[in-house]
């Protein structure tokens, strides 16, 4: 349970950093970050695996780069599902750039958290 909570907090932090780094990628306050991280987590757990499976041939042809397009789509869907404009993306360019930045930032934050937890043990 603690691991799930840590991953959720890391995801929210990554979304917050991405919104500061990418022009056209906006979050409104802490409640917007929490809602966006929750919705994105649900979408990534339920819908993203199916889409990855359906687009496997394209993903193989592009050597995995099509995954960024799928991630941008998940971010766009998240922006549509989070109510009251608390999370918004202004077009496809910020969505694609946001997907790349979010992947890098999430990877770095997860690495830092994993490294800290391993040192604790």
Beta bridge partners of 88: 26
pTM of the predicted structure, to 2 decimals: 0.91
Domain ranges of the chain: 29-101
Phi-psi region of 91 (alpha: psi -120 to 50; beta: other; left: phi over 0): left
Distance (Å, whole) CA 50 – CA 53: 5
Check whether 113 has a pLDDT greater than 80.
Answer: yes
Arithmetic mean of pLDDT, 30-49: 95
Please give the C-alpha separations between residue 10 and each of 34, 44, 51, 56, in angstroms, as whole numbers. 11, 15, 24, 28
Query: 57-100: per-residue pLDDT in tens?
Result: 999 999 999 999 999 999 999 999 998 889 999 999 999 999 99
């Amino acid at each position: 349970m603690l691991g799930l909570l840590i991953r959720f907090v890391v995801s929210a932090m990554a979304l917050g950093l991405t919104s500061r780094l990418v022009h056209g990628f906006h979050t409104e306050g802490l409640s917007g970050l929490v809602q966006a991280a929750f919705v994105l987590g649900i979408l990534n757990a339920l819908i993203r695996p199916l889409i990855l499976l359906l687009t496997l041939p394209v993903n193989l042809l592009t050597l995995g780069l099509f995954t960024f397009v799928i991630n941008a789509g998940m971010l766009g869907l998240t922006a549509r599902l989070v109510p009251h404009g608390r999370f918004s993306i202004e077009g496809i360019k910020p969505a694609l750039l946001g997907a790349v930045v979010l992947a890098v930032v999430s990877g770095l934050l997860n690495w830092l958290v994993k490294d800290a937890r391993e040192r604790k043990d």
